[in-house]
Amino acid sequence: MIDAIIVLHISKQASFLKEDLVSLLKINNIDNAIINPNSLDTSWGNIIKAHISNIKFIQSISINPDDKIIFHASNDMLIKPGLNNFLSTKLNLFHTRIYKCDGYWWPANIARNADKSFMRQLSYIGLNDNFIVGSQIEGSMYKLEILMEIIKIIENKNLLDNIDINYPREEIYFPSFAYGFGVKPDHVPYVYSEIHYLEMKFWAFSKKLDSFWWIPKKKKIKRIVRKKLINNKNFQINKQIVDDILKSKLKEISIEDGGFVWQPYPQPCNLFGVKRINRDIDDPMRVYINSLN
């Protein structure tokens, strides 16, 4: 079994005081949650800095050289028991979503074409074919010592200093450097994200649309279609998706992009959580998932 400690990062933009949360944890006798004393800006594109702050804080209090760090967000939820036993035999969990050419996933395109310092460091550690590795961050896990080596490169080479490019670096930096170090994941992240199913459908549509060279205003059409898909409840986490995961009947997702066919949750796959769930405590899906435990 695994003894887990939860480390919480409180954003600078938080609507509550850090001290109030400390008091709330004490009142409810929650002794396995620690609050990172540092608070950083968590506006979109800056999340990796909060992750790094958490990792360095954990390293400062760690007494076990074999510690592992798992990433979660406030809009994901665990839906079933058994995670401790699953993790007890695992060292690293991340996707190996390889991009060797441009595709529809725009963060990969930015990383490959605009983040020159990052790509240069990848080549130094052995990834010489101008490719990157992507992974969902929620439900991913890395050994602490590996993350500290990654942070050393990021900070020594000032990889976060370029404010002219903005993308979710944590979904590319961590898995790319780990892969470059020769780390092979034991499993994919254990949190199901609805965005992958949406990507499969939307990118299949985009590929078909792009094949019709004579159709004008393709970008506008794609924006409209993607917005409709995002707002479609069938593409959001719902009871059916949760129940399918509980019964191990999740539909297979296979995404073709960047010249690479990728399965985010290859079967059979151990999944223990879902995202994205509305952060409202009274959200119907949040209430339903809480009723399962």
| Confidence at residue 197, expressed as pLDDT on a 0 to 100 scale | 94
| Confidence at residue 44, expressed as pLDDT on a 0 to 100 scale | 81
What is the per-residue pLDDT across 58-98, written as a single tens digit (0 to 9) for each? 999 998 989 999 999 999 999 999 999 999 999 999 999 99
Tokens of 243: 């129940």
| Confidence at residue 248, expressed as pLDDT on a 0 to 100 scale | 87
Distance CA 293, CA 287 (A): 11
Question: How confident is residue 235, by pLDDT bands cut at 50, 70 and 90?
Answer: confident
| Confidence at residue 45, expressed as pLDDT on a 0 to 100 scale | 83
Average pLDDT over residues 162-175: 94
Assess whether pLDDT exceeds 80 at residue 19.
Answer: yes
Distance CA 289, CA 267 (A): 23
Alpha-carbon distances of 253 from 192, 197, 236, rounded to whole Å: 11, 6, 15
- 183 contacts: CB under 8 Å, gap ≥ 6: 92, 142, 146
| Confidence at residue 167, expressed as pLDDT on a 0 to 100 scale | 95
Assess whether pLDDT exceeds 80 at residue 103.
Answer: yes
The SS3 of residue 175 is helix
Question: How confident is residue 141, by pLDDT bands cut at 50, 70 and 90?
Answer: very high
* DSSP per-residue letters across 18-29: HHHHHHHHHHTT
The SS3 of residue 269 is coil
Alpha-carbon distances of 97 from 112, 125, 260, 262, rounded to whole Å: 13, 18, 8, 6
| Confidence at residue 2, expressed as pLDDT on a 0 to 100 scale | 53
Assess whether pLDDT exceeds 50 at residue 10.
Answer: yes
| Confidence at residue 7, expressed as pLDDT on a 0 to 100 scale | 96
Assess whether pLDDT exceeds 90 at residue 258.
Answer: no
Paired sense of beta strands 191-193 and 6-8, if any: unpaired
Assess whether pLDDT exceeds 50 at residue 1.
Answer: no
What is the per-residue pLDDT across 177-187, written as a single tens digit (0 to 9) for each? 999 999 999 99
What pTM, to 2 d.p., does this model score?
0.94
**Alpha helices (runs of H) in the chain, residue ranges in sequence order:** 18-27, 47-61, 83-87, 106-113, 116-124, 144-156, 173-180, 194-211, 218-231, 239-246, 284-292
Average pLDDT over residues 155-174: 94
